[in-house]
Amino acid sequence: MATKVTMPQMGFDMTEGKVARWLKQVGDPIKQGEAVVEIETDKVNIESEATGNGVLREILVSDGTTVPVGTMIAIIGAPDEDLTAIKAEAGFGAPAEPAAPAAAEAPAKPEATKQTPSARTIETAPTAAPAPAPVQAGNGRGDGRIKASPLAKRIAQEKGVSLAQLTGTGPGGRIVKRDVETATPAVAAAPEGFAQPIAAMAQPGRLGPSVLKAEEVTPTKLRQTIAKRMVASKQTVPHFYVTSEIDMEAAMELRGKLNTLVDEAGKISVNDLVLKAAAIALTHFPGINASFGEKAIVRHGTVNLGIAVALEQGLITVVVTDTDRKPLAQIAREAKDIVNRAKNGKARPEELQGSTFTVSNLGMFDVEEFVAIINPPEAAILAVGSVKDVPVVKDGQIVPGKTMKITLSADHRVTDGAEAAKFLQEVKQNLEEPLRLMI
């Protein structure tokens, strides 16, 4: 029996999706659970799997087409199966007969090449004027060589004087010592290997093949969603920010010891330590693990931490559920697995929604500190910087240390500065006394 491939609903608020690309072609054998098509949603590109076995008989929606959720986009069935009924059920009738060509059709007028809306290139660099014919210097020969004495050449090289700009006074127009010594600064050229004057470099036509071109690029659905949500967040959510600096010496030492006991898949990152530290603190500060609703402030009964992940198309958030209840090693494995699958378009819809608090980490890019925009409807987001080797004061002595800065962006409709500060104090304590993360 034929199986429909429909546009899946990958989130409760998803109403339509775009066929990014087909992973299988008509005639390819298909097994249940095998990825058939890559779907672009307003959150991420995800591979959709087949729900039946057979052969990919027909592709009904081509690459780049957006259709509502539930629309049939392909059919899987037996090689000789009649598809008339299933296509009619979905509203796909028999293909229309092609119209007969006109008896004497006039040749079409040539049209200008249409530019694609996804990347319309606008040439902004001015057209270079034709290069003037080279003028032979008075001291040159017909073969382009410059006549100069060996001594004149050496002095010219030491003084940085261009022989091509000089007129020789020696026999037959030969450049001699006195011609170089009396050369004015106006004819001095930059020594070989040094940059030319800026004015010369700025002349039209002097730039190389790396001239920039302006482009109008149609944003992806993900980028459009990011734009709408971030603008709405900054316009409707009254942000405030609290920053704390953490001594990471003990945490980094514990991380190093733990990572000697596990395989590569189980290695613990700095972000895993932060996730666990924040999750524990959130259980004591329900006002931070909350959302501002239409009629009430919602305090969540679970701690589901979102992890900001940068993709080529834009930023998404993947979710580790019940983070406070899971041991550090499990958080590390789950986080690594979900992030890797999200980057490869294999994350499941439920792994991209339902977060109650988000952690955004730019430490791997050597960013010392930053502020993040709250991801509605959450009440807060934690921005994590890099671990820095710095001098610190301990027991009145300056010693080498490791520190990290974190900044909480919080919704002032839900919480206040004092509660936010106390929350950061507990996160700080959990990381500075990292055995707390193991309980």
Confidence of residue 93 (pLDDT cuts 50, 70, 90): low
- In this predicted structure, the answer to whether residue 115 has a pLDDT above a threshold of 50 is no
- Tell whether 162 and 77 lie within a shared domain: no
300 is catalytic: no
DSSP code at position 378: B
What percentage of the chain exceeds 90 in pLDDT?
50
- Tell whether 416 and 361 lie within a shared domain: yes
Do 342 and 44 contact (CB within 8 A), yes or no?
yes
- Tell whether 190 and 336 lie within a shared domain: no
pLDDT for position 370: 98
pLDDT for position 127: 42
- Tell whether 179 and 233 lie within a shared domain: no
Question: Which one has a higher pLDDT value, 177 or 396?
Answer: 396
Q: What is the pLDDT of residues 193-226, one digit of tens each?
A: 444 444 444 455 555 566 788 989 888 888 888 8
DSSP code at position 359: E
Catalytic residue among 239, 284, 300, 412: 412
- Answer whether the bond into residue 327 is a cis peptide, omega within 30°: no
Confidence of residue 350 (pLDDT cuts 50, 70, 90): confident
Of 63-77, 178-192, 418-432, the range with the lowest mean pLDDT is: 178-192
- Tell whether 418 and 277 lie within a shared domain: yes
User: The dihedral of CA 143, 147, 150, 155: what is its sign?
Assistant: negative
Domain residue limits at 53: 3-89
Residue 155 lies inside a defined structural domain of this protein: yes
- In this predicted structure, the answer to whether residue 374 has a pLDDT above a threshold of 60 is yes
Beta bridge partners, 334, equal none
Q: What is the CATH number of the domain that holds 186?
A: 4.10.320.10
Distance CA 253, CA 369 (A): 22
Beta bridge partners, 291, equal 298, 378
Residue 402 lies inside a defined structural domain of this protein: yes
Distances (CA, A) of 232 to 38, 352, 423: 29, 20, 26
Residue 121 lies inside a defined structural domain of this protein: no
Residue 171 lies inside a defined structural domain of this protein: yes
Q: What is the CATH number of the domain that holds 325?
A: 3.30.559.10
The count of structural domains within the chain is: 3
Residue 169 lies inside a defined structural domain of this protein: yes
User: Under DSSP, is residue 96 helix (H, G, I), strand (E, B) or coil?
Assistant: coil
pLDDT for position 164: 80
Q: Which of 195, 214, 231 is at the close of a domain?
A: 195
Task: Find which of 138-152, 331-345, 422-436 is predicted with most confidence, using mean pLDDT.
Answer: 422-436
Mean pLDDT of 240-266: 95
- Tell whether 338 and 400 lie within a shared domain: yes
pLDDT for position 121: 36
Q: What is the CATH number of the domain that holds 49?
A: 2.40.50.100
Do 148 and 156 contact (CB within 8 A), yes or no?
yes
DSSP code at position 216: E
- Tell whether 308 and 347 lie within a shared domain: yes
Q: What is the pLDDT of residues 15-70, one digit of tens each?
A: 888 898 999 999 999 999 898 998 888 777 888 888 889 999 999 999 989 999 88
- Tell whether 422 and 375 lie within a shared domain: yes
Question: Which of 360, 375, 358 lies closest to 239, judged by CA?
Answer: 375
- Tell whether 299 and 427 lie within a shared domain: yes
pLDDT for position 210: 65
Q: What is the largest CA-CA distance in the chain?
A: 100
- Tell whether 156 and 277 lie within a shared domain: no
Residue 81 lies inside a defined structural domain of this protein: yes
Confidence of residue 144 (pLDDT cuts 50, 70, 90): low
Residue 217 lies inside a defined structural domain of this protein: no
What percentage of the chain exceeds 70 in pLDDT?
81
- Tell whether 191 and 226 lie within a shared domain: no
Angle at which helices 270-284 and 417-432 cross, to 10°: 130
pLDDT for position 208: 55
Confidence of residue 105 (pLDDT cuts 50, 70, 90): very low
Q: What is the pLDDT of residues 300-324, one digit of tens each?
A: 999 999 999 998 888 999 999 999 9
Residues constituting the chain: 439
pLDDT for position 12: 63
- Tell whether 189 and 231 lie within a shared domain: no
Long-range contacts of 145-152 (CB under 8 A, 24+ apart): 146/175, 147/172, 147/173, 147/174, 147/175, 148/174, 148/175, 148/176, 149/174, 149/175, 149/176, 149/177, 151/176, 151/177, 152/176, 152/177, 152/179, 152/180
Distance CA 380, CA 239 (A): 9
Residue 28 lies inside a defined structural domain of this protein: yes
pLDDT for position 237: 97
